[in-house]
Structure 1
Amino acid sequence: MTRYFFHICSRAERIEDREGADFNTLNAALDDARLAAREILAEDVRKGQVDETRMFEIVDESGRLVARMPFSDAIN
């Protein structure tokens, strides 16, 4: 298992995931990131404020950036 951290980034801010989560594969982490992005987007829509620049930067336990996933990819 590898621990991945899902940092939320946009033009305006960066929110670091300090806990992370363990996944068997990067694809499993990406699937989880898509679900999380959908939940965040749904909440944003309810509030009437969607930031289209948001994305997850997925970092492994050694601090290496392994993927970027724009929130927009969660709805395509």
Structure 2
Amino acid sequence: MTHYFFHIRNRHGRIEDLEGSDFDTLQAALAEARLSAREILADDLRKGRMDEARLFEIEDVGGRTVARLPFSDVLD
């Protein structure tokens, strides 16, 4: 298992994920990031706002960015 952190970058800076989560593969972490981005965007819509300019910066325990997932990539 690898521990990954899902930081959210927006126009104003970065929101740090201080806990992180364990995943068997990077692909599994990316699948979770996609699901989370959809949930965040759905919550935004319910509140009458939308900011697609955010993205997840996924880091490993060494602080290396291993993937980036723009929220706009999860919209159909």
TM-score normalised to structure 1 length: 0.95
**What is the 5 A alignment of 1:1-76?**
1-76=1-76
How many pairs are equivalent? 76
Root mean square deviation, CA, Å = 0.8
Counterpart of 1:59 in structure 2: which amino acid?
E
Q: Give structure 2 stretches of 5+ with no counterpart.
A: none
Identity %: 66
Q: Which runs of 5 or more structure 1 residues have no equivalent in the other structure?
A: none
CA distance in structure 2 between the aligned counterparts of 1:24 and 1:52, rounded to whole angstroms: 28
Query: TM-score of the superposition, structure 2-length normalised?
Result: 0.95
